[in-house]
Amino acid sequence: MKKDIVIPVVKDVHIAVVKEWNADFSSHDWIIYLINNLKGPLESVMIMSRGKHRDGRKTSTFRHAFKVVPAKSSIKVELIMENVFPFMNEFVLTYFLGSTLYDKTFMAPPHSISEANLKDLPVMDAQGVLLD
């Protein structure tokens, strides 16, 4: 019974945190991106984000929906404030690829989002922190 259930593995779809210049506010902001490095589009995409601190504090829960994320592209999801970097931040991603439903939780452990952890990102011409 349970052995017959196939849970598809998420590959080549990423959540990344990128530090960008915000001309409106003349500041550098950290932005969450969804990266689709597949050859096909993601459909009915939903992302839920929240953070928890070990002292019991929690962030607000945010939910985002995107009808389609084209192949080999990225999409801006939300701004993340530096004061939640000490939290365990999680991003739950759900999407359809064809008729198959995919689901993965990406985690950003405390203090993992930093300029020291920047690396080249797939699809984007930018550096950022890839979450696992």
What pLDDT digit, counting tens, does each position of 108-130 carry? 999 999 999 999 999 999 999 99
Write the CB contacts of 4 (distance below 8 Å, at least 6 apart in sequence): none
Q: Which residues of the chain have pLDDT under 70?
A: 1-2
| Per-residue model confidence (pLDDT) at position 24 | 87
| Per-residue model confidence (pLDDT) at position 6 | 80
| Per-residue model confidence (pLDDT) at position 5 | 76
What pTM does this model have? 0.93
Give domain limits for the chain: 2-130
Could you give the C-alpha distances from 103 to 45, 93, 117, in angstroms and in order? 10, 6, 25
When the candidates are 2.60.40.10, 3.30.379.10, 2.60.40.2420, 2.60.40.1180, the CATH number that belongs to 2-130 is 2.60.40.2420
Q: What is the dihedral of CA 49, 55, 56, 59, to 10 degrees?
A: -30
| Per-residue model confidence (pLDDT) at position 2 | 67
| Per-residue model confidence (pLDDT) at position 75 | 98
